[in-house]
Structure 1
Amino acid sequence: MYKIVRNSFFLAAALGFASCKNGSIFKKKPEKSDVTGWNYNDKNQGGYYVFKAKDVKTGPGLVFVQGGTFTMGATEEDVMGDWNNVPRRVTVNSFFIDKTEVANVHYREYLHWLNNVFSDPQYEAVVRGAYPDTLVWRSELAYNEPYVEFYFRHPSYNYYPVVGVTWKQAHDFCIWRTDRVNENELVNAGYQNKNVIKQEMNGGGQDNFNSKSYLMGEYEGIPGKPKKNPLLDAQGRPRTKVQFEDGIMFPDYRLPTEAEWEYAALGLILENPKPRKSEKKRGEELVANKQIYSWKNEGYDNLRATKRGTWQGAFLANFKRGNGDYMGTPGGLNDRSAIPAPVTSFFPNGFGLYNMSGNVSEWVADVYRAQTNMEADDMNPYRGNVFSKVDMSGGQGNLRDSIGRIKTVPENDSSLTERRNYQHAYAINYLDGDSLSKVYYGYGVTTLVSDKSRVIKGGSWMDMPYWLSPGARRFVEEDQSSSGLGFRCAMSHFGPTEGTSSKLQNGNFFPKKRQKR
């Protein structure tokens, strides 16, 4: 018995030595480049390290939305006569979007960070410029002063949607959220020391973590010492500076495009069979009989009841039923909310998203034009591009602005003359307000549409049902706000369009067949 144990011990030791020497018990064949034949992840052949392909993780607060084709625009008669949402088939790629609208408590967290990081008086304008306008609740002929004082600050309203926020403020919130999520990811993984957050919150000012500044080497922070570090430099030495291609950091949080928002609001995924396991069925396109609102027509086809169900007669959104009727009568309240309701109230749609119809209208990224639906690309349509580049005028090491973000400037049109896909950096008014279209907007004279007009979607607690349809669209100037207007964030998805599993792939793959010779 002793000999068996002793021999087993020596065998284990020998295997352990082989494991330490070669990196594994059985020497693994190195992955080679298909174009050069050089080894990847080999310091003796250039040290080009390639991490195994993996999908983007779902960021905090987000829900994955599988992309696809849909008919964007009106779902019923255009009773407003706007002709600004003519139906058109488009495709959006997969993306992430917030499960709920951004709530008061989330926005107060943002202000808490700003007040601590930019506590120096020189940043007073930065901090004050982020505060929501609580005066949006006021009206000359209504008593709404309690909402002015308490809606944003009182804990009773913690998880009610933040309102009084301009498009620019919502855009800046998304940048802040990107940085905080990525900073936390690096700290948790050990690539940044946890004390960097304390240093930042103690009046860090310009020297705060910004994702782009970090990736461009303009921000170092306090490097950490990760316990298990797979990151190596060209010489095979461990490195603590993370690169985006390492797959550790998240893409940017941002406002969703109008097409993304509308697609997510329809939540048509429930109508489609699950992929892969049953290829005998194909998902129905659902473009002919499209639902009017963001919830599935469960037992109701918008004309008549088709089967009995618990939802019949229930209000599935927070909206204004009619003039003077915001929540019904005592003992029989309909939507049970006179003002915005908590962000997780009412029933989620097919993607699990709350309040895509009603509660508060929401900012989206797009600049408003009435005819954009017919002009924009049919893949990821969007109006609002201003193509920019990093401002290198200050030289390396001086690329950040006063609040720590990378400075950018619009591309010079003179450098784009040889390009075929675009020739102007400023594309907001492309084919609708520029010399090519021969359309000119006399803002304040003949129209209220300008290059600062941003699309809002979804309808609010103060709107009639027409505006709750995902296809309905209006606009507000990007520097204005309202008591019925909030927002939610989105994030681009990289990887397989069907989901976030590493087992999924883009494209169809078939068994390889041997060719007859």
Structure 2
Amino acid sequence: MRIVKVNLLIILLATLLVGCHNRTNKNSTSLTGWSSKDKAKAGFSEGKKYKGQQTPPGMVLIEGGTFTMGHVQDDVLFDWNTTPVKMQVRSFFLDETEVTNEEYLFYLEWLEKIFPKSDEQNKHIYTSALPDTLVWRHTLGANELLTENYLRHPSYSDYPVVGVSWRQANEYCKWRSDRVSEKILVDKGIMNNPYLMDSLKLDGNNYFSTDTYLQSPTSLFQGDSSIYKKGIPVRKKKGEKRGARGEFTGRHVKISDGILSPKFRLPSEAEWEFAAKADTENREYNNIRGRKKYAWNGKYTRNKGRRFKGDQVANFKQGRGDYSGPAGWSSDGGDITMSIKSYDPNAYGLYDMSGNVAEWVADVYRPIIDTDANDFNYYRGNVFTKKKIDENGKVVIVDYNTIVFDTLDNGKIVPVDLPGTIKFIPITKRDAFMRNNYEKSYNIDSKDGDLASTKLYDKDEDELESQPRMYNSPIIPNNMGESGLRIQEYDDEYRTTLISDDSRVYKGGSWKDREYWLDPAQRRHLPEYMATSYIGFRCATDKLGAMTPKRRKRTTEKIK
């Protein structure tokens, strides 16, 4: 009897071991039992061995976590717009420096190459991206040298670009997304370098766009297949002829391949503040000790080291008529902006998060950060869109001859969409029907300026237009001329607020600001079409997968 029990126990253990082996077999799925080879033979996609996301060039990984947002040291202006709130931020990548003049000039040169200024239509595309170099002018200042040289002279090549509006910074991020993905495909041998092909003419309808490539690769480069190499290899069936040397015989890249980079964008206000504070250097296990006033540790702006003792650790205005200190003993080394990496980085490896130039962030400005509505990766500014589909069921790609232009409030003419890109339109109420996370496309004024946030919440949207407004008051005239562009005219209505749905947040102090604005929690705003001599920007992109590349090991101790 004892022998029988032992044999039964052995059989049971063997069965469990076999079952565990089957569940952990990497060549098959636990749900269907199909191995990767079986799926490939049948023409299905086989499982990908993803090696992890590569750090984009010039960027630093910011591991996400919880922090106190809006925790300022002082509020001497009584703005009452920095109430401390607890916020969770996801991991993301952020440029280690601001975008420089040299990098932005590459963008301008590319636009000039693809959209030559000799064409009247192209001229507006190029000029819409030009920084406003006249921001250096002052009615009582002699700064013409900077208006003529700051952007293009090589002595300022590694200085942060300024005179860029929020809209221009946002367009740069889109352009950078396409150029990074384009370079990845060229380096992977999936696509030829279009700029080195004599047979290919790059113009307004003929260049690489990531969205268009993913949606309709054959629509790029006017259907010229010579731009592509063999593509992603696919398994050939028995007897199927192999393609000629250099002929496209595979398939195009998909998102599921994990090859292309996520899109670049401006960081959200929460992300920027989290990265600037870099509280990780004050972490003791799972607690943050103390709070930081600047991007660096310490209560003061001067260097404590023996070699540079007394020097400023950031570029900012030190007092009335004092931007650098006395001649021969400059305490910060710059009277205007300075070259990037002139000072030590913060704990995340980010440069000039306090000082040099303030920086645009993605958010629309509101005095209150509404954590009751959302305390996870907070961002105000969502306008949900979808791809436009034509009557034939195909995605609409903007054509060079049908490009639409708009006139901003400051009179600048800008393209609504660039030719060769996919046309996106706002979602409809039908698209959002019976959804519990959003109800409409336009969510910029969600819970702070929309109908639901007023005492007329039970009325119709049209009734709100005739009532006194909290924001966007009054509405700027939108009179169109015969050319189809907006007529430039000043708003002669009595304005009750400077806050509108076009107001964008900018963070951090600059060469023109006093020490007060170096606090990462301070916040200011400007209309998205305006530019100054002290606001620049840097790009961000999302971290895919695990929030940290290395998970902290857990200890498995018995609880007594």
TM over 0.5, shorter chain = yes
Which of 204, 225, 232 is the matching residue for 2:229?
225
Which of 101, 104, 108 is the matching residue for 1:104?
101
Q: Which residue of 2 aligns with 1:400?
A: 397
**Structure 1 residue 53, shift from structure 2 partner:** 3.0
Q: Which residue of 2 aligns with 1:244?
A: 255
Q: Which residue of 2 aligns with 1:367?
A: 364
Work out whether residues 69 and 285 of structure 1, in 8 Å CA contact, stay in contact via their aligned partners in 2. no
Work out whether residues 94 and 541 of structure 2, in 8 Å CA contact, stay in contact via their aligned partners in 1. yes
Structure 2: stretches of 5+ with no match in the other structure: 1-24, 243-248, 400-418, 455-468, 475-494
Q: Which residue of 1 aligns with 2:525?
A: 475
Query: Which amino acid letter does the alignment assign opposite residue 181 of structure 1?
Result: V
Q: Which residue of 1 aligns with 2:459?
A: none
Question: Which SS does the other structure have where 2:431 is aligned?
Answer: helix
Q: 1:200 to 1:370 in 2, by over 3 A?
A: farther
Question: Which SS does the other structure have where 2:453 is aligned?
Answer: coil
Distance in structure 1 (CA, Å) of the matches to 2:277 and 2:271:
10
Q: Does 1:447 align with 2:502?
A: no
Q: 1:166 to 1:233 in 2, by over 3 A?
A: farther
Work out whether residues 387 and 395 of structure 2, in 8 Å CA contact, stay in contact via their aligned partners in 1. no
Range with greater deviation from structure 2 (119-128 or 316-325): 119-128
Q: 1:32 to 1:93 in 2, by over 3 A?
A: same
Distance in structure 2 (CA, Å) of the matches to 1:311 and 1:70:
32
Distance in structure 2 (CA, Å) of the matches to 1:373 and 1:311:
43
Work out whether residues 505 and 524 of structure 2, in 8 Å CA contact, stay in contact via their aligned partners in 1. yes
Distance in structure 1 (CA, Å) of the matches to 2:192 and 2:305:
59
Range with greater deviation from structure 2 (263-272 or 88-97): 263-272
Distance in structure 2 (CA, Å) of the matches to 1:200 and 1:355:
45
Query: Which amino acid letter does the alignment assign opposite residue 188 of structure 2?
Result: A
Distance in structure 2 (CA, Å) of the matches to 1:56 and 1:30:
21
Q: Which residue of 1 aligns with 2:265?
A: 254
Q: 1:111 to 1:308 in 2, by over 3 A?
A: closer
Range with greater deviation from structure 2 (127-136 or 203-212): 203-212
Work out whether residues 316 and 515 of structure 2, in 8 Å CA contact, stay in contact via their aligned partners in 1. yes
Work out whether residues 211 and 421 of structure 2, in 8 Å CA contact, stay in contact via their aligned partners in 1. yes
Q: Which residue of 1 aligns with 2:150?
A: 151
Structure 1: stretches of 5+ with no match in the other structure: 1-28, 273-280
Alignment coverage as a number of residue pairs: 465
Distance in structure 2 (CA, Å) of the matches to 1:198 and 1:230:
21
Question: Which SS does the other structure have where 2:179 is aligned?
Answer: helix
Question: Which SS does the other structure have where 1:192 is aligned?
Answer: coil
Q: Which residue of 2 aligns with 1:458?
A: 508
Q: Does 1:284 align with 2:314?
A: no
**Structure 1 residue 316, shift from structure 2 partner:** 1.0
Work out whether residues 471 and 501 of structure 2, in 8 Å CA contact, stay in contact via their aligned partners in 1. no
Cα deviation 1:163-204 (Å, max 9, x = unaligned): 111111101101111111110110111110124555699542
**Structure 1 residue 248, shift from structure 2 partner:** 1.0
Query: Which amino acid letter does the alignment assign opposite residue 61 of structure 1?
Result: G
Distance in structure 2 (CA, Å) of the matches to 1:213 and 1:425:
23
Distance in structure 1 (CA, Å) of the matches to 2:37 and 2:396:
32
**Structure 1 residue 376, shift from structure 2 partner:** 4.9
Instruction: Map 1:191-230; keep pairs closer than 5 Å.
Output: 191-195=190-194, 198=197, 202-218=201-217, 219-221=219-221, 222-225=226-229
Distance in structure 1 (CA, Å) of the matches to 2:371 and 2:540:
24
**Structure 1 residue 244, shift from structure 2 partner:** 1.3
Query: Which amino acid letter does the alignment assign opposite residue 331 of structure 1?
Result: G
Cα deviation 1:446-495 (Å, max 9, x = unaligned): 11000000000011100011111100000010000000011000000002
**Structure 1 residue 116, shift from structure 2 partner:** 0.4
Which of 439, 453, 463 is the matching residue for 1:423?
439
Determine what percentage of the aligned residue pairs are the same residue. Answer: 41
Distance in structure 1 (CA, Å) of the matches to 2:451 and 2:59:
40
Distance in structure 1 (CA, Å) of the matches to 2:76 and 2:543:
36
Work out whether residues 47 and 233 of structure 1, in 8 Å CA contact, stay in contact via their aligned partners in 2. no
Distance in structure 2 (CA, Å) of the matches to 1:337 and 1:235:
67
Work out whether residues 62 and 97 of structure 1, in 8 Å CA contact, stay in contact via their aligned partners in 2. yes
**Structure 1 residue 331, shift from structure 2 partner:** 1.9
Q: Does 1:378 align with 2:375?
A: yes
Q: Which residue of 1 aligns with 2:453?
A: 437
**Structure 1 residue 44, shift from structure 2 partner:** 3.1
Q: 1:315 to 1:303 in 2, by over 3 A?
A: closer
Q: Which residue of 1 aligns with 2:426?
A: 410
Cα deviation 1:236-277 (Å, max 9, x = unaligned): 9962411111111100011000011011111223334xxxxx
Query: Which amino acid letter does the alignment assign opposite residue 174 of structure 1?
Result: C
Q: Which residue of 2 aligns with 1:353?
A: 350
Q: Which residue of 2 aligns with 1:187?
A: 186
Q: Does 1:390 align with 2:387?
A: yes
Distance in structure 2 (CA, Å) of the matches to 1:412 and 1:142:
51
Work out whether residues 53 and 543 of structure 2, in 8 Å CA contact, stay in contact via their aligned partners in 1. yes
Cα deviation 1:31-63 (Å, max 9, x = unaligned): 222222222343334522221133211111111
**Structure 1 residue 441, shift from structure 2 partner:** 1.6
Q: Which residue of 1 aligns with 2:29?
A: 33
Distance in structure 1 (CA, Å) of the matches to 2:58 and 2:235:
34
Q: 1:292 to 1:231 in 2, by over 3 A?
A: farther
Q: Which residue of 2 aligns with 1:276?
A: none
Work out whether residues 39 and 45 of structure 1, in 8 Å CA contact, stay in contact via their aligned partners in 2. no
Range with greater deviation from structure 2 (369-378 or 450-459): 369-378
Work out whether residues 413 and 423 of structure 1, in 8 Å CA contact, stay in contact via their aligned partners in 2. yes
Q: Which residue of 2 aligns with 1:128?
A: 127
**Structure 1 residue 393, shift from structure 2 partner:** 2.6
Range with greater deviation from structure 2 (71-80 or 83-92): 71-80
Distance in structure 2 (CA, Å) of the matches to 1:485 and 1:201:
39
CA RMSD of aligned residues (A): 2.8
TM normalised by structure 2 equals 0.77
Q: 1:104 to 1:37 in 2, by over 3 A?
A: same
Q: Which residue of 2 aligns with 1:336?
A: 333
Work out whether residues 232 and 253 of structure 2, in 8 Å CA contact, stay in contact via their aligned partners in 1. no
**Structure 1 residue 362, shift from structure 2 partner:** 0.5
Work out whether residues 49 and 232 of structure 1, in 8 Å CA contact, stay in contact via their aligned partners in 2. no
Question: Which SS does the other structure have where 1:54 is aligned?
Answer: coil
Distance in structure 2 (CA, Å) of the matches to 1:448 and 1:484:
20
Question: Which SS does the other structure have where 1:488 is aligned?
Answer: coil
